[in-house]
Amino acid sequence: MVQKVIEVSGVSKSFGGVVANKDISLEVEDGKITGLIGPNGSGKTTLFNSIVGYHPIDEGSIKFEGREISKLRVQEIARLGLLRTFQQTRIYGEMNGVQNMLISIPHRKHGFMDMFGRNGNEDEEKAERLLEFVGLYSKRFLPSGDLSFGQQKLLEFAMALMNEPKVLLLDEPTAGINPTLINGLIDRLKRANTEFGITLLVIEHNMRVIMNMADKVYCLAHGEMLASGSPDDVQNNQRVIDAYLGAH
């Protein structure tokens, strides 16, 4: 039986007079990579913020593993194993990679105090293994602010993995990254899915990227769900093509 880890039904969210999300429904299947595309301003980030509890929704329901989470707070949702990354990176530039990794684990069951306790070495080893996984091992002691923007995105991805999420929501992971690093990042995202078993919901503005990774794709336009289906179906959907062309 197909397990739905995230079920969004009829979600609406406005900011003042701006309807950012209108009657949105979307499902994320366990173990899969689901894509969320749409022109700038179509409401993708707003939907992420609603799912992870960053702001209350006006209407609708959001379930995680069958449990209603739309009234829970960010920390409570994160503790259930549902995490997101941001469109803008959130790392400390003066700290090195390992240090950023170690401060990125508030969502585990233990508090940040185990950094100083007997689990300290374990965390450090894990941090180093994950930095190796994203290809930043040799740069792990450099101030993170000295990394390229693409490398900072890889670090941010590794920081999210430190929390061992069940489901990870990635907001435009490849935005602003040069093409050589993009392929490496896509490869890492796919491996996190297959090797670590992390379910992914990925926002992408770049259609080529998402078509190359996703099992299923949803497309938003003007806050509404325009289309959903296999990458091929969505890519060839005339409404989707028009929405993208109209946006430029």
Give the footprint of ligand ADP on this chain (CB under 6 A): 15, 18, 20, 38, 40-46
Give me 145's structure tokens: 């602010």
Q: Tell me, what DSSP letter sits at residue 220? A: E
When asked if residue 45 is in the footprint of Mg ion (CB under 5 A), the reply is yes
CB of 170 to Mg ion, least distance (A): 11
Nearer to Mg ion, 81 or 173 (CB): 173
When asked if residue 174 is in the footprint of Mg ion (CB under 5 A), the reply is no
The strands making up 59-64's β-sheet, listed across from edge to edge, are 18-29, 4-15, 59-64, 67-68
Q: Which residues contact 78 (CB under 8 A, 6 or more apart)?
A: 52, 106, 107, 163
How many residues touch Mg ion under the rule CB under 5 A: the total is 1
Q: Could you tell which of Mg ion, ligand ADP, none binds residue 46, using a CB distance below 5 to 8 A set by kind?
A: ligand ADP
Q: How far apart are CA 92 and CA 183, in angstroms?
A: 25
Q: Could you tell which of Mg ion, ligand ADP, none binds residue 40, using a CB distance below 5 to 8 A set by kind?
A: ligand ADP
CB of 172 to ligand ADP, least distance (A): 8
CB of 35 to ligand ADP, least distance (A): 13
Task: List phi, psi (to 5°) of 117.
Answer: -95, -160
Burial of 197 (0-12, 13-18, 19+ CB in 10 A): exposed
Q: Could you tell which of ligand ADP, Mg ion, none binds residue 15, using a CB distance below 5 to 8 A set by kind?
A: ligand ADP
Q: Could you tell which of ligand ADP, Mg ion, none binds residue 97, using a CB distance below 5 to 8 A set by kind?
A: none
Segment contacting Mg ion (CB under 5 A): 8-16, 40-48, 64-72, 104-112? Answer: 40-48
Q: Could you tell which of ligand ADP, Mg ion, none binds residue 38, using a CB distance below 5 to 8 A set by kind?
A: ligand ADP
Paired with 4 in beta bridges are 29
CB of 217 to Mg ion, least distance (A): 16
CB 35 within 8 A of CB 207: no
CB 3 within 8 A of CB 30: yes
When asked if residue 89 is in the footprint of Mg ion (CB under 5 A), the reply is no
- At 4 the three-state DSSP class reads strand
* C-alpha closest to that of 10 among 22, 20, 27: 22
CB of 203 to ligand ADP, least distance (A): 7
Burial of 186 (0-12, 13-18, 19+ CB in 10 A): middle
CB of 176 to Mg ion, least distance (A): 13
Give the interface with Mg ion as residue ranges (CB under 5 A). 45
